[in-house]
């Protein structure tokens, strides 16, 4: 009956006849014909597999893989897992490498920052030490009795001083003359000689004194043009400190502030001009207290003259000051 159902297909008929011949030629007595369609096709597939293996032994691996789809699926399923594991390992190693690189860069950055901070601290410490050294040096100078600057004198030379200088230079030309031991006697002789000189001979020393005075003034002008004003300020501060320290010392001679003698002088105030006026018109000496009392009781109309005098003097002072600053 099975044969009748598949008789319509020539290919199946050939396959069926081949299978029947195979079973008939089989030596195994246990083989039997299939009783249904499913068992028949199972038997038929096994027959084809065996025939293919016999005819083509090289296809055993491929046929076995086709016959055993489970093993093939396992192999195909294993390869992606291995790939994923390798990908995970490579990604982990790359992440670790990046992390190590970042750590090295961070360490280097911190080292550079530390080096810069150290260098900066050293520079600041040196600058601070230099500043402190300058402060200490300045403090020592301001509290010293030694002058920071010594301004040249512009005091005029007298004819007597010119004569003494000439005679001293003559004494130094004498060989084996001990000037230091006989200084007192030499000065005494010079004074006696000066007293006996007639006025006509003194005219010579007056001219010498005037010439030396001019030379001193020129030297002083050149010195005041070159001197640093800051040194003048420091010298005045030193003198002020010494005056404060020795204010209770009766034998101490108060030091005066030094100033450029060639600079324009600041004119006095209104009351100062009034004091000058009172001293010029009065033959007797008037005390400042009396002048102040007169000034207090004076009407504003009379004071106006001295205010105008003060304003004119101040304008003249400003113009002279400007010219003086331009000449430096």
- The CATH number assigned to the domain with range 151-253 reads 1.10.30.10
Ramachandran region of residue 176, left (φ > 0), alpha (ψ -120 to 50) or beta?
left
151-253 and 263-327: same fold?
A: yes
pLDDT of residue 41: 64
pLDDT digits (tens, 9 = 90+) for 144-195: 999 999 999 999 999 999 999 888 888 777 665 555 556 777 788 888 889 8
Confidence label for 16 from pLDDT (cuts 50, 70 and 90): low
Name the CATH architecture for the domain at 263-327: Orthogonal Bundle (1.10)
List Cα–Cα distances, 155 to 152, 243, 262, 265, in angstroms.
Answer: 9, 24, 13, 18
Q: Which residue has the tokens 């096709």?
A: 41
List Cα–Cα distances, 132 to 122, 125, 135, 142, in angstroms.
Answer: 15, 10, 5, 15
Give 32's DSSP letter. Answer: -
pLDDT digits (tens, 9 = 90+) for 206-264: 999 999 999 999 999 999 999 999 999 999 999 999 999 999 998 999 999 999 999 99
Residue spans per domain, the chain? 97-143, 151-253, 263-327
């Amino acid at each position: 009956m099975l044969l009748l159902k598949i008789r319509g297909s020539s290919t199946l008929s050939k396959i069926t006849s081949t299978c029947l011949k195979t079973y008939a030629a089989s030596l195994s007595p246990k083989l039997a014909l299939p009783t249904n369609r499913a068992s028949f096709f199972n038997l038929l597939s096994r027959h084809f597999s065996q025939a293919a293996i016999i005819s083509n032994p090289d296809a055993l691996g491929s046929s076995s893989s086709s016959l055993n789809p489970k093993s093939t699926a396992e192999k195909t399923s294993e390869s992606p897992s291995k790939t994923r594991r390798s990908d995970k390992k490579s990604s982990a190693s790359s992440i670790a490498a990046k992390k190590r690189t970042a750590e090295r860069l961070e360490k280097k950055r911190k080292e550079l920052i530390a080096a810069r901070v150290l260098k900066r601290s050293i520079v600041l410490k040196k600058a601070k030490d230099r500043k402190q050294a300058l402060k200490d040096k300045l403090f020592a100078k301001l509290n010293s009795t030694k002058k920071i600057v010594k301004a040249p004198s512009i005091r005029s030379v007298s004819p007597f001083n010119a004569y003494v200088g000439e005679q001293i230079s003559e004494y130094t030309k004498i060989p084996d003359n001990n000037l230091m031991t006989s200084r007192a006697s030499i000065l005494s002789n010079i004074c006696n000689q000066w007293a006996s000189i007639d006025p006509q001979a003194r005219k010579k020393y007056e001219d010498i004194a005037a010439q030396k005075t001019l030379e001193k003034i020129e030297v002083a002008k050149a010195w005041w043009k070159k001197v640093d004003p800051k040194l003048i300020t420091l010298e005045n501060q030193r003198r002020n400190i010494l005056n404060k320290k020795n204010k209770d010392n009766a034998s101490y001679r108060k030091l005066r502030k030094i100033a450029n003698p060639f600079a324009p002088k600041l004119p006095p105030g209104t009351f100062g001009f009034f004091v000058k006026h009172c001293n010029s018109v009065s033959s007797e000496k008037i005390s400042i207290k009396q002048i102040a009392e007169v000034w207090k009781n004076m009407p504003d109309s009379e004071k106006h003259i001295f205010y105008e005098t003060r304003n004119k003097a101040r304008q003249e002072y400003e113009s002279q000051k400007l010219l003086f600053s331009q000449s430096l």
